[in-house]
Amino acid sequence: MSSILHPDRLFSSHPEERAIARELYAAVATLPIVSPHGHTDPRWFADNAPFANATELLLQPDHYLLRMLYSQGISLDTLGIARSDGSSPDADPAAVWQLFGDHYHLFRGTPTRLWMDHILAEVFAIDARLDSASAADIYVEINRQLATPAFLPRALFERFNIEVLATTESPLDPLAAHQRLAQDPWPGRVITTFRPDPVVDPEYEGFAENIAELARISGVSCDTYAGYLDALRERRAFFKSLGATATDHGHPSAHTADLSPAECARLYHGALAGTLEAHEAEQFRGQLLLEMALMSLDDGLVMQLHPGVYRNHNPQLFARYGRDKGADIPLPGEFVRNLKPLLDRVGNNPDFTLILFTLDETTYARELAPLAGHYPALKLGPAWWFHDSPEGMLRYRHQMTETAGIYNTVGFNDDTRAFLSIPARHDVARRIDCRFLAQLVAEHRLAMDEARTLAHDLAYRLAKTAYKL
């Protein structure tokens, strides 16, 4: 037994509930992983080249790790993070890993610690706690294993028992890696997801240039609003041809709009000219959410919306290093009024699926659960990002289930760039769901056979069904 991973971790301390959770977990622990929403690099699987070292693989892509270290005064230059201008600081990967080990105590009590301990123990069979004394030896051992065929990306994909993994790409991405994968006999299923933020958000950096590139890559003129929508349809079709089953939308809010054609055209040309006021940019984004929903009715792509994030809150960090470096901060959310224009048009259509995420837990019981408990088109994504923790997952289940039930949710997704943490994240989710179900069984609110079915659905079937996988 690993000294850093207890077999009963995350289960209740109450003996009866713990025993039930053990039984439920044993039945789902080895189910295939369905990962319908993530941000791993498809080139890893297309190229199948060895990972360079522990630092490049485990530390530098993971904004959960970066934000904690940065919050304690450790610069991203010191951590070897590439800059926006394409330059890279002169940082020795071994020294960066040692620095990580020196500060690993900062992660005590966090989900990040759970995930990293799982990676060390289960993926690399390292039965030692990462700290200042062990960091150098652990770094050498990880690198030794990464150099073997068993740790090539495709071998790990198969070892992790991943049935399907979705990456996420911009409409401006030519999807070269996905095209190579589509022609490769390797049976691993890696699909793309359509993330249109750079071409639907007027406040996204370089919006007008992005639209010019959209016209070029799609072969459709974007001189008019109608042409712009046609270009988006072309790109969606291209993504779908390479396996996409979903779109993904990271808007500041859940605001939707249903505007007249003339107003849509006015806002579009203002967006290209860079003359929109903030409230007009919000209207344009809201209209595009409705347009995406209408397109989903035509092409069948599932729509995901995760609003409520002030992205790149730290302007100095953004200017130097770009996006996704741990400087995104949650905002309050509102869904009942914001989603109404979209729901008025498509909310009653069971052929359309909108999966909602939030970083504002105050909306769980008050707004999201009642909405999803009524509208056929709505499903609820899992506890997400800052709340994909044991405590956050339990709060989610307790607040959502009483009104929306479990079958209006979509199981779990890992939403990560950190490939080796995928099994760890799914393991945490499975353990917490089994803990939640065990409480219902112990309180005689659920029969054991029903709990077994629900544990399987939460770990596997709900995600597969919701994302049409």
> What would the pLDDT profile of 416-461 be if each residue is shown by its tens digit?
999 999 999 999 999 999 999 999 999 999 999 999 999 999 999 9
pLDDT for the residue 4: 86
Give the rounded percent of residues in the chain with a pLDDT score beyond 70.
100
Q: Is 283 helix (H, G, I), strand (E, B) or coil?
A: helix
Query: Tens of pLDDT along 134-159?
Result: 999 999 999 999 999 999 999 999 99
The DSSP bridge pattern shows strands 302-305 and 246-249 to be parallel
Query: Tens of pLDDT along 173-224?
Result: 999 999 999 999 999 999 999 999 999 999 999 999 999 999 999 999 999 9
**Average pLDDT rounded to a whole number, residues 250-263:** 97
pLDDT for the residue 437: 98
Average pLDDT, the chain: 97
Phi-psi region of 125 (alpha: psi -120 to 50; beta: other; left: phi over 0): left
Residue 35 confidence class, pLDDT cut points 50, 70, 90: very high
The C-alpha atoms of residue 360 and residue 330 are separated, in whole angstroms, by: 7
The C-alpha atoms of residue 176 and residue 171 are separated, in whole angstroms, by: 13
What structural domains and CATH numbers belong to the chain?
Answer: 15-49+152-466 (3.20.20.140), 50-150 (1.10.2020.10)
Nearest to 451 by CA among 437, 464, 433: 437
Concatenated DSSP letters of 401-427:
HHHH-STTB-------S-GGGHHHHHH
The C-alpha atoms of residue 287 and residue 201 are separated, in whole angstroms, by: 11
Beta-strand ranges (E) seen in 103-253 are: 162-166, 190-191, 246-249
Using alpha carbons only, give the angle 265, 196, 35 rounded to the nearest 5 degrees. Answer: 155
Tokens at residue 131, please? 């700290």
Answer yes or no: is pLDDT of 1 > 60: no
Residue 306 confidence class, pLDDT cut points 50, 70, 90: very high
Answer yes or no: is pLDDT of 46 > 60: yes
pLDDT for the residue 251: 95
Give the rounded percent of residues in the chain with a pLDDT score beyond 90.
96
Residue 86 confidence class, pLDDT cut points 50, 70, 90: confident
* Contact assessment for residue 38 and residue 246, using Cβ atoms and an 8 Å cutoff: no
End-to-end CA separation in angstroms for the chain: 35
Residue 326 confidence class, pLDDT cut points 50, 70, 90: confident
CA-to-CA separations, 26 to 8, 13, 20, 310, 430, in angstroms, rounded: 11, 18, 10, 40, 10
**Average pLDDT rounded to a whole number, residues 58-77:** 94
Residue 350 confidence class, pLDDT cut points 50, 70, 90: very high
pLDDT for the residue 371: 98
- Percent helix, strand, coil in the chain (nearest 5)? 50, 5, 40
The C-alpha atoms of residue 333 and residue 363 are separated, in whole angstroms, by: 7
Query: To 10 degrees, the CA torsion angle through 231, 236, 239, 245?
Result: 170
The C-alpha atoms of residue 348 and residue 293 are separated, in whole angstroms, by: 12
pLDDT for the residue 323: 86
- One-letter amino acid at 106 equals L
The C-alpha atoms of residue 54 and residue 60 are separated, in whole angstroms, by: 9
Taken in order 362, 363, 367, 373, the sign of the CA dihedral is negative
pLDDT for the residue 74: 97
Query: Tens of pLDDT along 114-136?
Result: 999 999 999 999 999 999 999 99
pTM: 0.96
CB atoms inside a 10 Å sphere around CB 435: 22
The C-alpha atoms of residue 253 and residue 388 are separated, in whole angstroms, by: 20
* Contact assessment for residue 331 and residue 252, using Cβ atoms and an 8 Å cutoff: yes
- The whole-angstrom distance between residue 132's C-alpha and the CA centroid of its chain comes to 31
